[in-house]
Structure 1
Amino acid sequence: MEIFGTTLYLFLNLIIVTYASTPLCLLCPCNSQPNKPPNINCVNSNVSDILEKKFWIDDFNKSYAIQSLIYKHNDLKNLTTKFPLSNLTILDLSDNVIKEVGDGVFSGLQNMEQLILANNDIHHIKPEAFRGIYDKNEYFPLKSLRILDVSYNKIHTLHADTFEHIDELETLILKNNPFKFIDSQTLSAIASLVYLKELDISYTQLQNLPEYFMHTPKYLRILDLSGNNFTKIPSALGESHALEILYFNNNPLQYLAKSNAFPKIPMLRILHLSHMPLLERLCEYSLSQLCNLEELHVNYNAKLSTINSRAFLISNHEERHILLKKIFINNNNLSYLERGTLDMKNIENIDIKENPWSCDCLNQWLIDEVISVYLRIDEEAAKHLRCVKPTDMENKTLYDMHSQNKTMRCLRFYESSVESTWLLIGVVSGVLIGIAFAMFAVYIYRIKILNFGNFNYPAYSRV
């Protein structure tokens, strides 16, 4: 009965709020629409006693209406005092120095939908940190919380029951924590979030994903694995049920081929493979299992020089292109894009700028087909697309050649470029000079040996 009474009291206090301004608005900027709760911005403020009751409860014991509170850069160290009752929906405590999150500190924030604890000094999160209030159907839930951000902390592992009070979480951001690997406890914690839709575990020093990692979260739509140490595509991705968007940027993958390609991810629509420091080539059938891929970002890869003409083909009984609608391959090291690499009929958006394109007959289809589609999508960028080589074509635009219906010549080996010729001369000269030095060294050595053999020792007497 006592528990029921407490629950009823909390419920009534959450419903009965006053739209009178909280005293916090005298100390921090507040903005709101008419008859709407204020958004309070206490960034780098002088409010050190943010949890004092006077800022949250009025003289009639009613909660002040607050939409959101941003309390960043305020040297908040320990979060062990409970927040007073409030109907706020967003709480941002990032960029403080929080080390400890006490039991049930957020239990009075039953309307809170988003909690941001990023960029603090948190090493461990106890399950009781998110303990809410009694509910006969759930286990002391913090029932409205849907987004939790604990990025940029020092978390190595999660307790298996970390999310037992917030098991309806939809977005979990663990970015920039030193996990290094997903242990069984962490795997259990994440698996408990059956309604999870978005997971960010980028920059967590991971090298692989455990088996069945994607099996339980059947609603997971967005996964960010960027900035880790993956040298191959995790096979666990093949267990995904609803994955639509995958970020795999900035991983040390050198190439993608059929042998190390993505597993079958039937729902995947958008893939990011950008800022890959070692990526050199996309080989044939490297994306063949992603049959429903619509949008591909493979840009800002300084070493990417080759995309095989079959890279975007589905390898079945009858080969066909992945029906890409948007492709971004700008800011790479591409000189050639073979005819037929893309099915231009389906392209709705494309970006190929900032590549060292070679304007010769092997790229004629860029002039004939690609540039016309590019002009329709982004005329400004298309008109500034320039040749980088050969030397006599340098800085000429593909647009000019397209508009003049020009046919680019085929390069023979000796006329490919002045730079190539000089490079060949340099290499041959270096080899010849090296041989000459070696022969000279052998000659000198043999002269010394001969002189040593003919050396006349002076005679001397033993007497």
Structure 2
Amino acid sequence: MVAKSVVLEKIVCLLLLIGNVYGETYENSKTVCQKCVCTQNDPTFSINCNEKGLNHVLANWPKMADSTKAITASFSKNSIDTLEKLPGTDKVVEVVFTYCNIQKVNPEVFTNVPKIKYVDLSHNKITSEELSPEDFRGTYVNDTWQPLDLLTLNLAYNEIHMLQNNIFEFLPKLEELNLKGNNFRVLDEATQLAIDSLKNLLRLNLADNKLTEITSTTIMNLTNLVELDLSYNKLDFVPAILSEISQSLENLILDGNPIFELTDSSFINTKNLIQLSMNNMNRLDNILPNAFAPLKKLRTLKLSNNPLLEELDAQTFPEHPDLAEVYLNNNSFDDISFELLEWSKLKIFEFKGNPLKCSCNLFKIHEKLSKKITRQQDGPICMDLRVVKSRPVFYLTDDICRVTPSHMKKEHVSHSFNVLRITIIAICTLLLLATLGVAATFLFRWRRIQRNLNYPFVSEVRYNPVNIHGGFN
């Protein structure tokens, strides 16, 4: 046993030496489970090396049970400037290298792990120039480079502005690609071809770039795409080219774009959408009737934090039998039409943070919503203009429906007039007091001046002593 151990040590040293010859350096794998946290949960072996001061990848995987079928390894928040070739295994592998300051990726980094399924390289400093097709090659068999089994590739928050057109040629099974938070201003022709080559892609994230448009050649062949995240770009309109993937697209995220208006043609080509998110849109101020009419299968709508959005037409959602979750928080609605939705079918309805005025509409909505929704203690608040007092919407009673809009307006105007009258009286009183003060000060000074003018001895008089014996001297 001792002899075998010595031999094994020599082999490891030899591997390290070979790595150095080819410009690659590795961490000693013998002590990895002493330095990191290794966990065997059959059939998965987990390695947690987060924040362990590593500068390189492992020379080899730690010894694990024969029943192990998968390896999950996380190396986040280390200082690994160069991503070297991963150690070999025929097991399924998932690796995470986030926040590692990676600037260079060695070619064929995944060659020894052909069954790798998940790679997270987000929050590093990888540039477009550092990425090439060679980075994603599989094993070399019969004079041919084999593809990888990779399903998820996360390159978010790096320094990528374009992709080579054939960069994904060895990733035919890729299902999820995350390019969020990079430097894409436009998707040039090479980048379009690269993305469009991923025929099995299910989820694409292009959020938090500076894109002003999405061209049809970027997604025309992504016929399996179910989720597209375009949030926090610079899109003025809902991209018309979504029609290219209308049969498959189910989840569309447009948060944080400068879209200012939705019309009855905005979603005409996205009829199979199930989830739509349009939060934090600072320019959105107009949603025309029938804007969401084409979305017959919509189940979840997120439309919150849009400060200019003041109204939803009663015909915004005609015939939406599947709609179950609606989020309308922190907009500028003062009322919501009772005709807007089939309230009894909703499982979730949130509309907190709006400047609502208590109305019969809100009472009727409250009556139709399920008790699971209305018994929430932190529900929406409205202003009762009859008494100028805020009230929980879910505590409204039918007496609000016996108040006509004109009466509400009259009460509001009357209250406003009373407030204005009191304000004017207060201002006039202050002005009068100030005037009297000035007048009193002026009168006091005037009387003082007059008193000085009337004093009998204006100037000083000097007398000489009288000489009683000789007269005046």
Question: What TM-score range do you get, normalising by the shorter chain?
Answer: 0.7 to 0.9
Instruction: Give the 3-state SS of the residue equivalent to 2:381 in structure 1.
Output: coil
The question of whether the paired residues in 2 share the 8 Å contact of 1:350 and 1:377 is answered with: no
The question of whether the paired residues in 1 share the 8 Å contact of 2:240 and 2:269 is answered with: no
The question of whether the paired residues in 2 share the 8 Å contact of 1:103 and 1:129 is answered with: yes
In structure 1, the partner of 2:57 is 50
Whichever residue aligns with residue 410 of structure 1, its letter is T
Could you tell me how far 1:251 is from its partner in structure 2?
0.8
In structure 1, the partner of 2:404 is 410
In structure 2, the partner of 1:83 is 86
| 1:196-275 equivalences in 2 (<5 Å) | 196-240=201-245, 241-258=247-264, 261-275=266-280
Could you tell me how far 1:324 is from its partner in structure 2?
1.9
CA RMSD of aligned residues (A): 3.0
1:23 aligns with 2:31: yes
The question of whether the paired residues in 1 share the 8 Å contact of 2:150 and 2:174 is answered with: yes
- Which of 91, 96, 108 is equivalent to 1:92? 96
In structure 1, the partner of 2:343 is 344
Give aligned pairs, total.
Answer: 388
In structure 2, the partner of 1:401 is 396
The question of whether the paired residues in 2 share the 8 Å contact of 1:288 and 1:322 is answered with: no
> Alpha-carbon deviations, 1:4-58, whole Å to 9, x = none?
xxxxxxxxxxxxxxxxx9631111112232x4443111111133343324x5579
1:140 aligns with 2:146: yes
1:365 aligns with 2:361: yes
* CA shift in 2, pair 1:414/1:159, >3 Å: same
The two structures have a TM-score, normalised by structure 2, of: 0.75
* CA shift in 2, pair 1:184/1:399, >3 Å: same
Instruction: Give the 3-state SS of the residue equivalent to 2:33 in structure 1.
Output: helix
The question of whether the paired residues in 2 share the 8 Å contact of 1:414 and 1:421 is answered with: no
In structure 2, the partner of 1:113 is 117
Could you tell me how far 1:303 is from its partner in structure 2?
2.3
Q: Which runs of 5+ in 2 are unaligned?
A: 1-28, 422-473
Distance 2:203 2:368 in 1: 34
Whichever residue aligns with residue 23 of structure 1, its letter is T
| 1:148-187 equivalences in 2 (<5 Å) | 148-187=153-192
Q: Which structure's CA Rg is the greater one?
A: 2
* CA shift in 2, pair 1:382/1:160, >3 Å: same
In structure 2, the partner of 1:379 is 374
Q: Which runs of 5+ in 1 are unaligned?
A: 1-20, 314-319, 426-463
> Alpha-carbon deviations, 1:273-298, whole Å to 9, x = none?
11112222322111222222121111
* CA shift in 2, pair 1:23/1:149, >3 Å: same
> Alpha-carbon deviations, 1:360-400, whole Å to 9, x = none?
3xxx13212x2134352323337743213526242223333
* CA shift in 2, pair 1:243/1:407, >3 Å: same
Distance 2:152 2:178 in 1: 8
Whichever residue aligns with residue 45 of structure 2, its letter is P
Instruction: Give the 3-state SS of the residue equivalent to 1:185 in structure 2.
Output: helix
- Which of 290, 293, 297 is equivalent to 1:288? 293
1:307 aligns with 2:312: yes
Distance 1:308 1:209 in 2: 29
In structure 2, the partner of 1:126 is 132
Whichever residue aligns with residue 365 of structure 1, its letter is N
> Alpha-carbon deviations, 1:121-172, whole Å to 9, x = none?
1112111110111357985211x21000000001001101010011210000
- Which of 104, 123, 130 is equivalent to 2:108? 104
The question of whether the paired residues in 2 share the 8 Å contact of 1:375 and 1:383 is answered with: no
Distance 2:327 2:368 in 1: 14
Q: Percent identity?
A: 25
* CA shift in 2, pair 1:56/1:382, >3 Å: closer
1:71 aligns with 2:75: yes
